[in-house]
């Protein structure tokens, strides 16, 4: 788990504290924020009652780069600021890397992986899981086979939650990242729709017919 302070007790040195991590400013990391909004849809669909994850910025000890962009790191964190795992922005701006990945699919994959790491470490549970096989899933390009490896050039499609499948090796794409709600069993899907209406302050009139209600739930 991250988000902690450090002080130096070396003889002859003053106690130093690194800059405190802080919530990323709105608009500071637009691509990362947009990707996290997509991942948060899956989080709140599969873990009812969980608040949305946030971006936490950890300023660097070193001076800012000549471009004026700080070399601190950005992490996907719980609402209270705790996180686990790797940063989601460029590690070394001096090498010419953009502050955020250029490719939208790459951004979404990196953010999904970071969210998964934070949730699994801090909640001590597998997330997300395939409803069919009851095992954990991983973000991958759509259409990949079981022997696909990270960094492989042939990315067949947008990021999906991928399940290794059963012992017979029946791996499969479960859904695009951000669309897990559509894969939920009927009972969970209906409960999610009810919680969404309650959260948005929307109430269905009592006079609605059963047919109308079913059409709404199964749309």
pLDDT tens-digit map of 18-53? 678 899 999 989 999 999 999 999 999 999 889 999
Q: Which long-range contacts (CB under 8 A, 24 or more apart) does 30-37 make?
A: 30/100, 31/100, 31/101, 31/104, 31/107, 32/74, 32/88, 32/89, 32/100, 32/107, 32/111, 34/107, 35/104, 35/107, 35/108, 35/110, 35/111, 35/112, 36/76, 36/111, 36/115
Same domain, 211 and 130: no
Reported as a single tens digit per residue, the pLDDT across 95-121 is 556 667 778 899 999 999 999 999 999
Same domain, 37 and 107: yes
Residue range 193-211: average pLDDT?
55
With 50 as the cut, is the pLDDT of residue 207 above it?
no
- What are 43's two structure tokens? 């989080």
Specify the number of domains making up the chain.
2
Instruction: pLDDT band for 159, please (50, 70, 90 cuts).
Output: very high
Which residues span the domain enclosing 112? 22-184
Same domain, 82 and 153: yes
Name 100's bridge partners.
none
Answer whether residue 3 is part of any domain: no
Answer whether residue 50 is part of any domain: yes
Please tell me the pTM assigned to this model.
Answer: 0.74
Q: How far apart are CA 218 and CA 15, in angstroms?
A: 60
Same domain, 133 and 216: no
């Amino acid at each position: 788990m991250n988000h902690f302070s450090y002080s130096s007790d070396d003889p002859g040195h003053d106690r130093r504290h690194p800059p405190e991590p802080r919530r990323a400013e709105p608009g500071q990391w637009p691509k990362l924020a947009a990707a996290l909004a997509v991942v948060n849809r899956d989080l709140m669909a599969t873990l009812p009652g969980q608040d949305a994850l946030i971006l936490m910025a950890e300023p660097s000890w070193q001076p800012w780069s000549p471009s004026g962009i700080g070399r601190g790191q950005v992490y996907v964190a719980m609402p209270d600021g705790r996180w686990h795992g790797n940063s989601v922005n460029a590690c070394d701006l001096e090498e010419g890397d953009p502050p955020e990945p250029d490719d939208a699919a790459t951004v979404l994959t990196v953010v999904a992986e970071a969210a998964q790491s934070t949730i699994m470490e801090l909640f001590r549970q597998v997330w997300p899981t395939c409803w069919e096989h009851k095992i954990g899933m991983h973000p991958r390009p759509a259409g990949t086979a079981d022997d696909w490896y990270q960094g492989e050039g042939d990315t067949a499609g947008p990021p999906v939650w991928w399940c290794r499948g059963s012992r017979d090796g029946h791996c499969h794409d479960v859904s695009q990242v951000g669309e897990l709600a559509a894969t939920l069993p009927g009972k969970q899907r209906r409960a999610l729709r009810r919680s969404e209406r309650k959260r948005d302050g929307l109430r269905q009139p009592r006079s609605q017919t059963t047919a109308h209600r079913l059409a709404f739930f199964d749309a």
